[in-house]
Structure formats: C-alpha cells, structure tokens
Amino acid sequence: MQIPEANTTALPPNSAGTDTASADATAGTLGLAAGAGLQYEQNTISVVDRFEPGLVYITTEQQAAAQNPFGMMGEEGQAQSGVGSGFFVNDAGDILTNYHVVAGEGGSGAASRITVRVMGQEEAVEAKVIGLAPQYDLALIRAEGMAQSLIRAIPLGDSDALKVGQKAIAMGAPFGLDFSVSQGIVSSTARQIPIGFSAGGGEGITQKAIQTDAAINPGNSGGPLLNSAGEVIGINTQILSPAGQATGVGQSAGVGFAIPINAAKNLLPRLQAAEGQIVTLPRIGVSVGLLVQGPQGQPVPVGLGLLNGQGKQQLNLPDTGLVVGDVQPGTPAATAGLQGGTRTEEFQGGSVSVGGDVIVAIDGKPVDGLEDLQAELINKTQGDTVTLTVVRGGEEREVPVTLDAASF
C-alpha cells in the first residue's frame, strides 16, 4: 500500500536552526519541570520519613449500658469502639488529638479505655487523659509505659504565618487505615466553622479553621496537618461532605478543616495542668448578635466584616467588629456595663441585633467575630482584666472587663 506524500513547505535557510533552538528550549523547560517535580516529591518523602513516627493511632472503647427490661438498669452491654489519630508534642509522651476522638458515650467525658500505637509497633499501650477541652474539640492524653525511644515529638509551627497555596500534608488513619498520608494545599487560612461542643454538649463554637484539599476522612481526626518543613500547622478535625447530608456517611470532597495549631499551643499549658479534668473557655458573658445561615441551615455567629458596606451604613454599624446581642446578668460583661441590642433587623440569610455595643478590639487587637475574642481570652485566668474597645451609638470607648469566677 502506498502512503500518500505529505504536503510540505520548504523552510527558509535559517528556519531549521530556529526550530532546533525552540526544541532545545522546550526540552530545557520540561527538564526543569521534571526537576521541580522531583524536588516536590522528595520534600514530601523527607517530611513523611522524618515525622510520621510521631503520628499516633488511637483506639477507644466505651462500655455501653445494656437496655434489658428484665434486668437491672446500668448493667454492662456490648463495648463500643472507635479509632482516630493524634501526635506527640513532647518527650513526656503527651499526645494532642481531637476531643471527639477520645470522648465517651454521648460525647460526654472520656471513653472508658484509650489505647495508642505508633508506627511499626503491633502492641498498643494504655493512655490516660491529661486534659479535655470539648469547646475547642481538643484533648491531651499521655501514653503510659511506652518506650522512650518510640516517643517522637513533631515540631509545632506557626499557623498565623500560613499563606493560601502552601503545601499541606495530612497524616492519620482514614477509615481505620492506620498511618496513611495525603497531600494538598492550604485552601483558606481563616474559614469560620463551628468547632467543638458547647457546655451543654451540643452546638459547635464558631472558630477560625484552616481549609485544605488534602484528603481528610473519618479516622483522620486528631492527626497532624504539616507544612513542607515538617511542622504541625493544624489538627485535622472535620470535613464538609454534601453527599453525607443525603447518605449520613461523610466522604472526602476535597474540603477538609483543621484547627490552627496556634490555638492548640495557646491552650496547651491549661491542658497540661488540668489533671484529667475539663478545660473551659473563659467567657465574659455576651452572645453574638449577627447570625447567618450556615452550610447545614443552622445559624452561625459571624463578625461584621462579612456584611456589605451599604447594610452597615444604614444600621450605623462599624466596618468590622463583634455585635453584642445579649449580656447575661451577673457576668463580667454585665458588671463592666456592656449593652446588648435593643432590636433585631432581619436580612436575607440572617439577622443582626442593633442598638447595643459592638466590640471592635480587645487589648488593642482587632475583633471581627467571636473567634477573635476567644483567641485573646484563651490564656487568661481568674482576676485578669482585658480592655475592650466598643462602639456605642457611633462613638468609640474603652471598657475594662475583669474576669471573675463566672468566666470559668
């Protein structure tokens, strides 16, 4: 069979040289890209090789009470078990994880039994609770009887310095597949989502979170999110799973969230001194007066920075700040004379209380939501005084607030 001759056009005398140069440049570009790819891979391999030994596989057991109508109430039933992740933060064997990983039945207290295992070890050891912080969804446990050589602390980074687009490496045990690694980027550094559990054990407390597209699934909870230097920048805590709303089973959709490590670092001294008890969030006694509809339809408290300028101008509100909805009697806020809203204005997707105070700063640091207030209160103790900058009736004033026993 004869192959038809291709249509060709003669090249000018110098065109062949130009074409060769172009090919060489293309090859050089591809070579650089390949080299960059190899460097990227090698960095990941190096981080995993060095710091994955600090990852901890956590197993919990909770003895459930049997529902036997013919027996005595409270007799033991079948044990319930769960799995999660954590990581060493010091040479004493202290392990940071999520509260919900080690929580007991109904999300109250700690599980009956907690065991931990490190990579390359078949035997698990018991772990005891050092401190619980349900409102932050954080817990500190300690491995007991583990060989010192197996305790490998992972360095803690600075989540305030994060930039969108940075590498993010997630470690954990998705679906119980222990010591798994996934990789992505930091998708957002200040996503506001409900994290942790309120004092009543229900609603989450809105806090800043790191959003990442590194695959996070059930079992990753409590595991570390690392940067390219191998530093922990966050603690994997939850995922947004639209499919889960229909099926009841959450799956990774490329939208995962981690607690910023700076929040955990601030809380760590209180957890270490808790002696197995619950660490509570200091409160001044105000509720947030600006609510918007959350992903699941629930009201989420947010700062004024999320409202458009026209709406704030019409309501005589500052550009940013925490709107005070109500002030609880007998609290530091009430003693200091803070004022709540006098009426509620509805808007599409939410509502805002007006006529009261707007907190715009605490100790000179800007406030644009409950999470900013919480961040400055996190290390305060009874008797400490903070200075709130509030806007009332369009005028700014300083209000000192002393934290008393009611704050804790």
Tokens describing residue 349: 């997707």
Helix, strand, coil percentages, rounded to 5, for the chain: 25, 35, 40
Q: What does the CA dihedral 265, 270, 272, 278 come to, rounded to 10 degrees?
A: -120
DSSP category for residue 158: -
User: Has 100 been annotated as catalytic?
Assistant: yes
Domains and CATH numbers, the chain: 159-272 (2.40.10.10), 286-407 (2.30.42.10)
Most confident of 63-72, 229-238, 343-352: 229-238
Q: Please write the tens of the pLDDT for every residue from 177-204.
A: 999 999 999 999 978 888 888 655 556 7
Instruction: Check 94, 137, 213, 372 and give the catalytic one.
Output: 137
Say whether pLDDT at 160 is over 60. yes
Q: Please write the tens of the pLDDT for every residue from 26-81.
A: 445 556 566 777 899 999 999 999 999 999 999 999 876 554 444 444 444 556 78
Tokens describing residue 307: 């409202």
Q: What is the mean pLDDT of residues 267-279?
A: 93
Q: What is the mean pLDDT of residues 77-96?
A: 88
Rounded CA-CA distance 358/286 in Å is 11
pLDDT at 78: 55
User: Has 137 been annotated as catalytic?
Assistant: yes
Cβ atoms 69, 91 nearer than 8 A: no
User: Has 180 been annotated as catalytic?
Assistant: no
pLDDT at 19: 45
* pLDDT band per the 50, 70, 90 thresholds, residue 5: very low
* pLDDT band per the 50, 70, 90 thresholds, residue 209: very high
Rounded CA-CA distance 234/238 in Å is 12
Instruction: Check 94, 100, 182, 357 and give the catalytic one.
Output: 100
Q: What is the mean pLDDT of residues 326-330?
A: 96
pLDDT at 370: 85
* More confident position, 205 or 123: 123
Cβ atoms 126, 145 nearer than 8 A: yes
* pLDDT band per the 50, 70, 90 thresholds, residue 141: very high
Cβ atoms 137, 150 nearer than 8 A: no
Rounded CA-CA distance 124/113 in Å is 12
Say whether pLDDT at 85 is over 80. yes
Rounded CA-CA distance 12/126 in Å is 79
Q: Is 314 helix (H, G, I), strand (E, B) or coil?
A: helix
Tokens describing residue 326: 């109500």
Q: What is the mean pLDDT of residues 267-289?
A: 93
| Phi (first) and psi of residue 341, to 5 degrees | -70, 155
Q: What is the mean pLDDT of residues 320-329?
A: 97
Cβ atoms 263, 290 nearer than 8 A: no
pLDDT at 51: 97
C-alpha distances in Å from residue 143, one per residue of 36, 53, 54, 155, 365: 40, 14, 12, 18, 38
Beta bridge partners of 156: 232
The amino acid occupying position 282 is P
Nearest to 113 by CA among 103, 100, 99: 103
Cβ atoms 390, 358 nearer than 8 A: yes
Rounded CA-CA distance 226/261 in Å is 10
Q: Give pTM, 2 decimals.
A: 0.71
The least confident of 76-90, 232-246, 321-335 is 232-246
pLDDT at 35: 74
Q: What is the mean pLDDT of residues 222-243?
A: 90
Rounded CA-CA distance 213/291 in Å is 27
DSSP category for residue 119: T
When the pLDDT of each residue in the chain is averaged and rounded to a whole number, the result is 85
Instruction: Check 85, 180, 182, 221 and give the catalytic one.
Output: 221
